[in-house]
Amino acid sequence: MELSEFFAKYPKVAVAFSGGVDSAYLLYAALNMAKTVKAYFVKTDFQPQFELDNARRLSSVLEIDLTILNADILSDNDIMTNPADRCYYCKRKMLSTIAAQAAADGYNVLLDGTNASDDLNDRPGVKALEELSVLSPLRICGLTKDNIRSLSKSAGLFTWDMPSYTCLATRIPTGVSITKDKLERTEAAENYLLSLGYRDFRVRLIGNSAKIQVNTTQISKVISERKNIVSELKKYYTSVLLDLEARDE
């Protein structure tokens, strides 16, 4: 199935928009192929501010109003305790929040940006999509991550080369409770590395230490900037570690 065929079948859609590569292209395609589109962003403690900023920026570029909803994710014990299937509970809460508002707005078809490259066997959140009848046009139409980046570049979307990003909660080991403080420290540490020009990295919580994970090409940069990085990150952690197993190996 082509995207044009999908939107001919579903001409009125609500889009769960995160501001990332996949949902950005999905929103762009929907605006060009569907008859009526509404975009929703759910803000929780799990998302850094830059994701909301990106979502607002793209919505402005595409000239669509963005409905921003808030969800108190940490009030849910199934999420806060951080079990192995936390993503399922989190995804369900966020999509339920959108689905309820979308239905109130007159939109009964909800779409998300899952693509054909995503391993559905390794994504607990997919169960939530199925339970809530959320459709994933990019996956249905066989569009891979590479396809989406290429199409996004051709469409002039600034999101086309953005690194893949997972929520702040993924920096906290499974079984370790998630708190607002831990999330805020993670965001502050990663914002600092972003300000230094790092891309596609993570700052993970190990006990009360920060473990920095970067790609091979950035390891020497971390070492050369070690003193400044350690000085800044020790505002939030007792020690700072560098993972020599690079993210791209």
pLDDT (tens digit per residue) in 91-110: 999 999 999 999 999 999 99
Q: What is the pLDDT of residue 192?
A: 98
Q: What is the pLDDT of residue 249?
A: 60
Please determine, for residue 83, whether its predicted confidence score (pLDDT) is greater than 90: yes
Buried b (16+ CB within 10 A) or exposed e, 45-64: bbbbeebbebbeebbeebeb
Tell me the C-alpha distance between 66 and 41, whole Å: 7
Q: What is the pLDDT of residue 119?
A: 73
Q: What is the pLDDT of residue 237?
A: 98
Please determine, for residue 122, whether its predicted confidence score (pLDDT) is greater than 70: no
Tell me the C-alpha distance between 32 and 47, whole Å: 28
Q: What is the pLDDT of residue 164?
A: 86
For residues 44-66, average pLDDT = 95
Please determine, for residue 140, whether its predicted confidence score (pLDDT) is greater than 70: yes
Q: Residue 65, Cβ neighbours under 10 Å: how many?
A: 8
Residues of the chain with CATH 3.30.1340: 179-242
Please determine, for residue 126, whether its predicted confidence score (pLDDT) is greater than 90: no
For residues 32-60, average pLDDT = 96
Percent of the chain at pLDDT > 90 equals 91
Please determine, for residue 159, whether its predicted confidence score (pLDDT) is greater than 90: yes
CA 191 from chain centre, in angstroms, equals 16
As assigned by CATH, the class of the 3-161 domain is alpha beta
Q: Which of 35, 4, 14, 195 is nearest to 105 (CA)?
A: 14
DSSP lists the bridge partners of residue 111 as: 15, 135
Please determine, for residue 10, whether its predicted confidence score (pLDDT) is greater than 80: yes
Residues of the chain with CATH 3.40.50.620: 3-161
Yes or no: say if 7 and 30 are a contact pair by the CB < 8 Å rule. Answer: yes
Angle at Cα 17 formed by Cα 82 and Cα 154, nearest 5°?
125
Q: Which of 90, 61, 95 is nearest to 76 (CA)?
A: 90
Q: With bands split at pLDDT 50, 70 and 90, how would you rate the model's confidence at 45?
A: very high
As assigned by CATH, the class of the 179-242 domain is alpha beta
Q: What is the pLDDT of residue 121?
A: 67
For residues 234-242, average pLDDT = 97
For residues 157-179, average pLDDT = 94
Mean pLDDT of the chain: 95
Angle at Cα 110 formed by Cα 104 and Cα 116, nearest 5°?
170
Q: What is the pLDDT of residue 165?
A: 87
For residues 134-150, average pLDDT = 96
Please determine, for residue 124, whether its predicted confidence score (pLDDT) is greater than 80: no
Q: What is the pLDDT of residue 247?
A: 83
DSSP per-residue string spanning the chain: --HHHHHHH--EEEEE--SSHHHHHHHHHHHHHSSEEEEEEEE-TTS-HHHHHHHHHHHHHHT--EEEEE--GGG-HHHHT--TTHHHHHHHHHHHHHHHHHHHTT---EE----TTS-GGG-THHHHHHHTT-B-HHHHTT--HHHHHHHHHHHT-GGGGPPP---GGGGS-TTSPP-HHHHHHHHHHHHHHHHTT--S-EEEEETTEEEEE--HHHHHHHHHTHHHHHHHHTTT-SEEEE-SS-TT-
Q: What is the pLDDT of residue 110?
A: 98
Q: What is the pLDDT of residue 118?
A: 81
CA 222 from chain centre, in angstroms, equals 25
Q: With bands split at pLDDT 50, 70 and 90, how would you rate the model's confidence at 162?
A: very high
For residues 118-133, average pLDDT = 80
